[in-house]
Homo-oligomer: A and B are copies of this chain.
Amino acid sequence: MRIITVSREFGSGGRELGKRIADILGYDYYDSEIISAVAQKSGFDEAYVETTLDNHGWQDFPVTFGGTMHSSAYMQASKIDLLVRQKKVIEEIAALGKNCVIIGRNADAILKDFHPFSLFVCADTEAKIRRCRARAREDETLTDRELRRKMKEIDKARARTRDFLTGSEWGKCGSYHLTVNTAEWDMKALAAAVAAFAERWFESRE
């Protein structure tokens, strides 16, 4: 079984790249499917699960959710619960024994016994802003400055979660097998190049 995990900077196009790699290689693809499964198993709705798992850290809870000790303690407990469920969902995906691409969720660390090929996807800030703008909904009203701040905050949250759960540094080259910069690539060509690279890695280990 071959597993490719994709970590990425917000706006870098990591999700699209992962989907294209899965299509090229004929692998299963998991992204929001993981959130759906966690939601189903926990009884919470998907938006709540996503917000809780992707939020900007423990310390934000009291602000975001009103700030009584009660609500804060409740939220922390359910975050841990959701992280445990998420880990289980990812392990169940691996247990299917089928080749797959998994986006985010620190799947490379959770599944390290399966020796996944771990990819990190980045781009320079200007390229990420262009990408976000091109894909924005019509009612998107963020200024460039706000968008920059949002990108930074989301990446910071991803880094914090990874550091907390895995002890391996988010975005640092030594934490992944391959790090690609999408800035100067056509996504289709990049996906083909990464897919070929990953296949060579799997072959070299067999």
Contact = CB atoms under 8 A, between A and B. Distances in A.
A140 interface: no
Interface string A175-202: 0111111011110011011101100110
B173 A185 contact: no
How many identical subunits does the complex contain?
Answer: 2
Contacts of A194: 197
B204 A200 contact: no
- Give the size range of A's interface with the partner: 20 to 34
A204 B178 contact: no
A178 B177 contact: no
A180 to B, nearest CB: 6
A123 interface: yes
Contacts of A184: 177, 205
A124 interface: yes
Contact of A173 (B125, B171, B177, B203): B171
A10 interface: no
A120 interface: yes
Contacts of A173: 120, 122, 171, 173, 179, 181
Given A189-B200, A193-B200, 15 more contacts: A120-B173, A125-B174, A171-B173, A173-B173, A173-B179, A173-B181, A174-B183, A176-B181, A184-B205, A189-B203, A190-B204, A193-B196, A193-B197, A194-B197, A196-B200
Q: Which 4 A-B pairs have the closest CB atoms?
A: A179-B179, A189-B204, A193-B200, A122-B173
5 contacts: A124-B174, A178-B178, A186-B204, A189-B200, A192-B200
